[in-house]
Structure 1
Amino acid sequence: MKTLGRWLDSPWRRSAVAAVAGALPMLAFPAPSLWWFAYVALVPWLLLVRTAPTGRRALYDGWWGGFGFVLAVHHWLLPNLHVFTFVLAALLGVLWAPWAWLVRRFLGGAPSPGRIVAALLVLPSGWLTVELVRSWQGLGGPWGMLGASQWQVEPALRLASVGGVWLLSLLLVAVNVAVAVLVAVRPSRTPALAALLATVVAASAAWAWAPRPHVGGETRVALVQPGVVPGPGPRFDREEQLTRQLAGQAVDLVVWGESSVGHDLGDRPDLARRIAALSRETGAPVLVNVDARRSDRPGIYKSSVLIGPDGPTGDRYDKMRLVPFGEYVPFRSLLGWATSVGEAAAEDRRRGSRQVVMDVGGGLRVGPMVCFESAFPDMSRSLARDGADVLVAQSATSTFQQSWAPAQHASLAALRAAETGRPMVHATLTGVSAVYGPEGRRIGPPVGPVGTDASTARVYEVPLADGVTLYARLGAWPVYLAGLVLLALGLAEGGRSVRRPRRSAPERRVPPARTVRGSPARPGR
């Protein structure tokens, strides 16, 4: 250990180790999907930060670890954003610097049992605050939240219905902190063991007590995935061909992926007529997605448009939350150079102003989202509260076809379904397309997900549910709880600094004058 400590005395070696430690949680996300690893993935990072010799060094350890985390989870952006991916990772990595300072503050040295108990509350709260800040769509949105790694774990999905992905992140960090204490702080293991036991008991109680969605009835939804087809014209032809195969299959809704139509339907009424003909053939409305310059207003929009047997129904949703750099460049006057080093948007897309719930007939109501928006828990919650029976995400990840991005994106639909108690359809142009039931479980086999190598149309029998989950009712309450913990910490630290007596300067003692046989000494002698 002493040899390792001396090796880490080099700032650059320590920074490299911090970046690698911060990157480890990537293995818990798809495609590896080692969900169990999320319960210990932060331990190496925690152990490193607690040994930081100074608070300033802890800040650097947090920054470099955050850099590694962001770069690893978003590594599939590298072929498109190139060097700008490193710039983004460095900027976002700063968010973890204060969290690392708290790690050293509460776990550094030989922490007392009281400090360990405080760490088990403060450090998960600090991590959740970081996730909240970076969830702002201008900073990239909530992609790669630690709790999202549990998308295929049924008990975790049940907990998501209680507190959303926020609760899962909070519990995962608490477990990681407890494990780090058990590994490194031998004399004071009791609080960590108690915390692990309390987490298990609380999670089990929430799992048993949380109301389940009441499933009753079903609807038949068809997904049309054309595959990798270059150009909007050939893509439309392929989608038309696949949709015709659904005739006679008694579907209630046909869903095409994001950017499935490359022309505004006001400018191209011939395309609208062709889709309306498909609606008549299949006996179901078709939800398409138009990525084009609008004919009725300036700018390019990405819009979900519902088309029935007589043409567009008038139901339209314009995408509200755009992908930074992919669909617009934030602070373009300052960061516009990103278009010269990667595939950043040459022209900013325009934003919609409100979410929409569409009536597709037969009493079925759907809430559309477009691509990136399925990462935001509040958007699906809002649609469920507004009466959507089925959540729909139209996506296109063809730019990242051979990466981990398609599987990561599809996994988010499981969480949104579990959080709201509403089934969710994730339809893409090139895969991965999938459907999840109201408890977050993937529907299939025999149908199952549609991979990135498929060009097909598939019909899913989607169970419908009613009732309101606790998350849909209360929202992101774990975030508020984390805020209260950090507020209490701030008040306690402030009160301690006020009560601490100020140290006065020591009095200067003047040495007594020297005397020679009872007489004062003369100056200079």
Structure 2
Amino acid sequence: MTTTATRSSRTHRAELDELDPTPWPLALLCGAVGGALALLAFPPYDLWMLLPVALALLSVAVLTRSAWIALLSSLAWGLAFFVPLTEWANTYAGTMPWVALGIVQALYIVLFGLLARTVMVRRGLTPSTLIVVSALWVAVETFRSHVPWGGLPWGASGFALADSPLLNLGPWIGMAGMAFVVAALGQLLARGVLTLAGRRRSVLGGLAGVWPLALAIAAVLATMVVPHPANRAPEGRPTMTVVGAQGSMDPIDPVALTMPEGVFENHLEVTNEATTAFQQQGQQIELIVWPEDSTTYDPRQDPYRGNALTDAATRAGAPILVGTQTAVGEHHRYNHSVLWTSEGETPYVYAKRHPVPFGEFVPARDFFRMITDKVDRVGRDMLPGTEVGLLDLEALELGQGKVGVLICFEIAYDTLIMDTVDAGAEMVVVQSNNALFGDSHEAIQQLAEAKVLAVVTGRSVVHVSTVGHSAIFSPEGRRLDFVDHWEQGYVSAEVPLRTGITPAVAGGIWIAIGISALGLLGWIGALSTRHRAVARRTPRREQARRSTR
């Protein structure tokens, strides 16, 4: 008797967890529309609130009877998102490499879709499912950001939140934590809509779909009052006066891919303009930052450029951090950030640690050459640096302050900027050359990454580009100065210095590892579940089964 009652109770609960599968045409539509909405969440559109909606549509898309339809639906989501998001690669590498990049990135969404489908199909849309699926999103996003060849975190969830109240969570839980929250909001929306539509059965009927939607809205509103962690300024020196020069240039020839003439002279002109303005106001510059590739030729090997930098640093009374390429043998090079002083010395050099695969070096070049000769557009493979970028002006007797140094795409990797903060950086500079990507959205997307990681790490970020966008962000994400795309000018500010460590930096990569492990363990647990929330029966047979009770 007791056994019969227990089985009846379990059967009843299982029935309440059952979901009507998504018809395949609707699944494919949800996938494509979801990916398009995800794109609109990122710069330059900045409709961040669409990202949870996009992930909700992805969940609906993979709730099908057929794993093949789930695969195609999630692929449609990934293609609709990543192909247009990475359109900037078309300017630099051409159509075939651009589309190939979009397809490779979309395959990670397929991986997530199949993993998430296993959990949702077997366990239904329960609270535990919400946690596991959200954690799986973090696991796949972390995997995509590091594999292969160092990965590519472009399009990571947190980078859509530059203008969202959810960014207030960044210094507490990091990029992985924000990705988890966004995915959880998507799960809440999916659960609410499916229940209201009658596709998920509940003892409360369709009204049970109201509370997930209300909870999602309340959670977003609650983040508006989350405080920024307390962060200390160095004793006696809370700011540093920094100037970032954006010399601009003519558009780069997409065929030759060579820097036009006048790049060095443009940055020299802007530097002298800033020096004059500061001297007229009776202010002293402490550090001048030039972008990546701003010298055209290595000034350490070019007397004209070396003498001009020495004169500019002497006039300004401040060292200049320039960006240059340094040849190594016949086939390799370094991407260097070089500090130039008024004595003509270069006491500090940073080598970019994370060259971009296929953009700055070509892995397995002989193999990929059989697919496309575009690989030979990268004539010299960039070698990775081995040391964290930390410019200690006090140790060099050139002033005060410890400056973290990153080059271009390195700002997209939270692990790299966290390394600089752990090493003692009190602020961070990012030197970039966005001219290679023309009028695409790459520059404004990269600037959003700089803002997000300024908040996550609790450090001011001075982002300086050859052609823009250049900006300075405070540790709280306030924009202190800005120069638009293709404009000549400079950014300057009394840049706040900080020494405190945010919880996100303290947790580091372990936050992502811990959340990812939770998702994978939950997925393994779902494999042992015999009950299926999405029934194998056809709708007609299901209706007949219910009518016989």
Q: Could you tell me the TM-score, scaled by structure 1's length? A: 0.83
Which residue does 1:88 correspond to in 2? 101
Which residue does 1:53 correspond to in 2? 65
Which residue does 1:276 correspond to in 2? 310
Which whole-Å CA distance do the structure 2 matches of 1:87 and 1:272 have between them?
41
Which residue does 1:243 correspond to in 2? 271
Which residue does 1:105 correspond to in 2? 118
Which residue does 1:22 correspond to in 2? 35
Q: Which residues in structure 2 correspond to 1:61-140 (within 5 Å)? A: 61-79=73-91, 80-108=93-121, 112=124, 115-136=125-146, 138=149, 140=151
Q: Which residues in structure 2 correspond to 1:497-508 (within 5 Å)? A: none
Aligned length: 480
Which whole-Å CA distance do the structure 2 matches of 1:35 and 1:343 have between them?
38
User: Offset at 1:424?
Assistant: 0.5
1:36 aligns with 2:49: yes
User: Offset at 1:221?
Assistant: 0.8
2:134·2:519 contact (CA, 8 Å) conserved in 1?
no
Which residue does 1:146 correspond to in 2? 157
Which whole-Å CA distance do the structure 2 matches of 1:300 and 1:342 have between them?
16
Q: Which residues in structure 2 correspond to 1:229-378 (within 5 Å)? A: 229=250, 231=259, 233-247=261-275, 248=279, 249-294=283-328, 299-336=332-369, 340-341=373-374, 344-360=377-393, 361-378=398-415
Which deviates the most, 18-27 or 169-178? 18-27
User: Offset at 1:251?
Assistant: 1.1
Which whole-Å CA distance do the structure 2 matches of 1:131 and 1:337 have between them?
30
**CA displacement, residues 196-239 of structure 1 (integer Å, 9 cap, x when unaligned):** 63895699489646623235722111111111246465111111
Q: CA RMSD in A?
A: 2.9
The one-letter amino acid paired with 2:264 is F
1:218 aligns with 2:239: yes
User: Offset at 1:140?
Assistant: 4.6
Which whole-Å CA distance do the structure 2 matches of 1:439 and 1:338 have between them?
46
Q: 1:224 to 1:205 in 2, by over 3 A?
A: closer
Which residue does 2:5 correspond to in 1? none
Which residue does 2:416 correspond to in 1? 379
Which whole-Å CA distance do the structure 1 matches of 2:400 and 2:371 have between them?
47
1:417·1:438 contact (CA, 8 Å) conserved in 2?
yes
1:427 aligns with 2:464: yes
**CA displacement, residues 44-83 of structure 1 (integer Å, 9 cap, x when unaligned):** 2322221x23123212322332233221321222343302
Q: 1:196 to 1:382 in 2, by over 3 A?
A: farther
Which deviates the most, 240-249 or 176-185? 240-249
The one-letter amino acid paired with 1:436 is F
Which whole-Å CA distance do the structure 1 matches of 2:457 and 2:223 have between them?
20
Unaligned runs of 5+ residues in structure 2 are: 1-20, 253-258, 531-549
SS of residue paired to 1:291: strand
User: Offset at 1:489?
Assistant: 2.0
Q: 1:199 to 1:386 in 2, by over 3 A?
A: farther
User: Offset at 1:280?
Assistant: 0.7
Q: Percent identity?
A: 26
Unaligned runs of 5+ residues in structure 1 are: 498-525
2:403·2:425 contact (CA, 8 Å) conserved in 1?
yes
Which deviates the most, 413-422 or 268-277? 268-277
The one-letter amino acid paired with 2:97 is F
Which deviates the most, 177-186 or 487-496? 487-496
User: Offset at 1:127?
Assistant: 1.1
Which residue does 2:492 correspond to in 1? 459
1:254·1:287 contact (CA, 8 Å) conserved in 2?
yes
Q: 1:161 to 1:426 in 2, by over 3 A?
A: same
Q: 1:298 to 1:75 in 2, by over 3 A?
A: closer
The one-letter amino acid paired with 2:270 is L
Q: 1:224 to 1:291 in 2, by over 3 A?
A: same
2:247·2:269 contact (CA, 8 Å) conserved in 1?
no
2:331·2:380 contact (CA, 8 Å) conserved in 1?
no
1:481 aligns with 2:510: no
Which deviates the most, 70-79 or 219-228? 70-79
Q: Which has the higher contact order (CA 8 A, sep 6+)?
A: 2
Q: 1:192 to 1:493 in 2, by over 3 A?
A: farther
User: Offset at 1:128?
Assistant: 1.0
1:221·1:251 contact (CA, 8 Å) conserved in 2?
yes
2:166·2:224 contact (CA, 8 Å) conserved in 1?
no
Which residue does 1:509 correspond to in 2? none
User: Offset at 1:87?
Assistant: 2.0
- In our comparison, the structure showing a higher alpha carbon Rg is 1
SS of residue paired to 2:248: coil
**CA displacement, residues 324-365 of structure 1 (integer Å, 9 cap, x when unaligned):** 211112221111356635884232112111213112332211
Which deviates the most, 231-240 or 303-312? 231-240
Q: 1:192 to 1:71 in 2, by over 3 A?
A: farther
User: Offset at 1:178?
Assistant: 0.8
Which whole-Å CA distance do the structure 2 matches of 1:271 and 1:338 have between them?
40
Which whole-Å CA distance do the structure 2 matches of 1:202 and 1:143 have between them?
24
User: Offset at 1:371?
Assistant: 0.2
SS of residue paired to 2:355: coil
1:151·1:411 contact (CA, 8 Å) conserved in 2?
yes
Q: 1:338 to 1:451 in 2, by over 3 A?
A: farther
Q: Could you tell me the TM-score, scaled by structure 2's length? A: 0.80
2:388·2:423 contact (CA, 8 Å) conserved in 1?
no
Which whole-Å CA distance do the structure 1 matches of 2:502 and 2:496 have between them?
16
Which deviates the most, 190-199 or 258-267? 190-199
